[in-house]
Every structure is written in C-alpha cells, then in structure tokens.
Chains A and B, each alone.
Chain A
Amino acid sequence: MTTRDIVFIALFAAITAVAGIFPPITLPLLSVPITAQSLGVMLAGGVLGAKRGALSIILLLVLVAIGLPLLSGGRGGLAVFFGPSAGFLAGWVVAAFVIGWLTERFWDGLSFIHAALICAFGGIVVMYLIGIPWITLSAGVPLSKAIAGSIAFVPGDLVKCVIAAGVMITVKRSYPIIGARAA
C-alpha cells in the first residue's frame, strides 16, 4: 500500500458517500427507488480493484458507524448495522471485493458485456447471498419470502450494473487505475 493507494481508498469512500445524496430515481413501472450509492460500491471494485475497492467501502462504513449520516437518505450511526437490511451493508464490502477481483482477472480485453456481467454477479448475486439470509435470520422470515421481497429491487440493480459497466469501461480507457499497477 503506497500513499497513492491510501488516497485512492479515501477518495472512493468519499465518492460513494456523495453518491448517496444523489436524488433517488424511481423506475416508472415498479415504484422502487434506486439510489446511486450501490453504484458507488460497484465502481469502487470495478475502478480500484479488489483490495483497494473493499477497503474504501470498509472505510465508509467505519465513518457511518461512528455517527456520520453518509448513507442514502441521511442514514447513519450504529443503528443501520442492527436493522433488517444490515446484511446488505456487509454485502457491499464483499461485492466490491468480488467485482474488483473479477475485473482484475479479466482486465485485458475487458468489454462492456464482461463488465456488466461482473457487476451483476458481484452486485446482485453475491450481495443478495449475504443480504437475504440476514433478513431471514434477524426477522424470522422464511427464505422464500425474503427472496420474494427482494426481487422488486433486481430491475433497479440491473440498471445500475449497466451504468456501472459503462463507467468502468470509459474510466478504463481514459484513466486506468488497475492496469497501471502491472505497467
């Protein structure tokens, strides 16, 4: 970890925090609000790579835990880690790591389709694998019901994957961070 890496980590924690104040977009048909904050999580992994991406999300969550209202909707403090959706916050760290790891692995010749699939795997499959069992465990709701309740968020997450993939590819072309390490 060089000083530059530390600066990247802190910058992406800040970007993800600021993405939370972006006004939520409500999809016309579903009326489920989608916030840009989990977009920041995908981009932390996809732009910085596994280790730095996950560390930047951990740094953000530490600041939230000590009482700063940095999550979307001005949420913050220790309470967010004790609510029914706390599993998704833990899932953010793993999702950023998985997306970063896969992006590093497929870095040469990374296409828009690859990036979108990577984001969908890390940002939806991995995230829900951690978030949904936590709902089941903490709220005593059977797994099938917890899955049914979370399905409504999948279309919004798919939109985010497409946006994140577009941003990842453009940043890779104009200002690559992951490849710069190998060079």
Chain B
Amino acid sequence: MLTELYVVGQSPLHLAPPALKLGLLFVYCTLLFVIPHPGVLAIGAAVVTFGYALAGLKASHAVMAVRPAFYILVIIFAVQLWLEGPGMAAYIVARFACLLMAASLVTFTTKASEFIDGILAALTYAPAWVPKAKIALAMSLVWRFIPMVRGIFDEVREAQSARGLGRNMTALFVPIIVRTLKSADEISEAIHARSLED
C-alpha cells in the first residue's frame, strides 16, 4: 500500500521544485476553467502531452491517470450528448482528461518525500500558533501505522472467517478499532518516554 505513484526519472520536470509544479498545475487548471474555449483546451492538451514526453513517460501512464474516472466520464459524456450535443460532450470530457493528466504528471514526477520535505519547510515559515512539531509527528506516525493496521486487519479477518463472520463488517471493524485504539496509549507513552513534550 505504501508504494507510491512516482515514476523514476531525471527529466527537468523531475528536478523542478514541487512548489513550482503545484503552482503551474494551479494556473493550468484555472485557465482551462476560466476560458471555456476549444482553442485553449487544444493548447492545454498539447502542453500536457509535451509534459509527458519531456518527463519520459509512456502513453500507458496517461491512461493510468484517466482510467479511475473512466466510468463517470462515460456517464457525463452520455448526459452531455443528450443535453447539449456531441461538441459540448467531447469538450467537457476532454477537459477532464487534460486536468487528470496534468495532475498526474505532477504526481508521477514528484516523490512523496519531496512533498513532505516541502511541507515541513513551509511549516517553518508558519505563524507560531501552528503546532508544527505535532503536524510533523502525525505525518510520520501514519506512515508507520498503515502497515501495523493492515496487520491487525488481516489477523482479525482470519479470526472472524474461522467463526464464519468473514463478511460481517461489524464483526470486523469493532475488534480492529478497539485493538488499534488500545495501542494508542502504549504508543503515546513511548513517545513521551522519548521526551516529546505534550
């Protein structure tokens, strides 16, 4: 579960700072929405295609970006086709495809650790009332907790399947949550023992 979507590379897009890429993505999406013109969309599609080529990504990566939204886009296309005609339907769906590809382009070319470093660097400029240490703690804890909860989840599922309750959601979630919450006390004691202030 902790495999990230990052694709290894050394392109200018991979090396650009995450904040710059996020800023460009924001400008890109705003332009596509503020100027609803097919010409703008065509330029947008060309820009994002150039981005994929520049980053050394394959066509399969672009498909990966759009695929999760495929069914809902088909439905939107059908509704628009019926209401506004083929031109509008194609425009709306193509705009979504561009947005999804652009957003995924940032994800494919940026490591999760780069984003975290960026967030932590931004936090040092945050005003004093922002609990910086606690935000950093929460982010690093959840990293460790996902495999731990996954382990608890698998154990509980096996145990409840043996009782014939493998598909009973209540019988699965109650023990998972209670066991997980009980471990919170031990974990916070351990954090205190390592002298993190309350």
Chain A residues close to B by CB (< 8 Å): 1-4, 6-11, 13-15, 17-18, 21, 25, 36, 39, 43, 47, 55, 59-60, 62-63, 65-70, 73, 75-85, 138-142, 145, 149, 163, 166-167, 170-171, 174-175, 177
CB-based nearest B residue for A55? B138
Interface string of B1-31 (1 = CB under 8 A from A): 1111110000000000000000001000100
B148 at the interface (CB under 8 A from A): yes
Let me know if B5 and A4 touch, CB within 8 A: no
Q: Which residues of B contact A4 (CB under 8 A)?
A: 184-185, 188
Q: Which residues of B contact A3 (CB under 8 A)?
A: 137, 188, 191-192, 196, 198
A53 to B183, alpha carbons, bound, how many Å?
18
Q: A88: shortest Cβ distance to chain B, in Å? A: 11
B47 at the interface (CB under 8 A from A): no
Let me know if B115 and A67 touch, CB within 8 A: yes
Q: B193: shortest Cβ distance to chain A, in Å? A: 11
Let me know if A59 and B142 touch, CB within 8 A: yes
Let me know if A2 and B180 touch, CB within 8 A: no
Let me know if B173 and A43 touch, CB within 8 A: yes
B80 at the interface (CB under 8 A from A): yes
Let me know if A175 and B3 touch, CB within 8 A: no
CB-based nearest A residue for B140? A10
A1 to B135, alpha carbons, bound, how many Å?
11
B68 at the interface (CB under 8 A from A): yes
B145's partner among A11, A76, A81 (CB-CB below 8 A) is: A11
Q: B138: shortest Cβ distance to chain A, in Å? A: 5
Let me know if A7 and B69 touch, CB within 8 A: no
Let me know if A8 and B184 touch, CB within 8 A: yes
A9 to B80, alpha carbons, bound, how many Å?
41
B174's partner among A10, A15, A167 (CB-CB below 8 A) is: A167
Beyond A21-B1, A78-B107, A83-B100, whether A167 also contacts B142 by CB under 8 A is no
> Which B residues, 161 to 196, have Cβ-Cβ distances below 8 Å to chain A?
167, 169-170, 173-174, 176-178, 180-185, 187-188, 191-192, 196
Let me know if B170 and A73 touch, CB within 8 A: no
B76's partner among A11, A17, A60, A84 (CB-CB below 8 A) is: A84
A63 to B106, alpha carbons, bound, how many Å?
14
B72 at the interface (CB under 8 A from A): yes
B139 at the interface (CB under 8 A from A): yes
A43 to B180, alpha carbons, bound, how many Å?
13
Q: Which residues of B contact A55 (CB under 8 A)?
A: 138
Let me know if A67 and B111 touch, CB within 8 A: yes
Q: B81: shortest Cβ distance to chain A, in Å? A: 11
Let me know if B72 and A85 touch, CB within 8 A: yes
Q: Which residues of B contact A47 (CB under 8 A)?
A: 177, 181
Let me know if A82 and B148 touch, CB within 8 A: no
Let me know if B145 and A14 touch, CB within 8 A: yes
Beyond A3-B191, A139-B92, whether A68 also contacts B173 by CB under 8 A is no
What would 14 more interface pairs be, CB under 8 Å, given A10-B142, A17-B149, A139-B76?
A: A7-B191, A10-B145, A15-B177, A18-B1, A18-B149, A47-B181, A62-B139, A67-B115, A69-B3, A69-B4, A77-B104, A79-B65, A79-B107, A139-B96
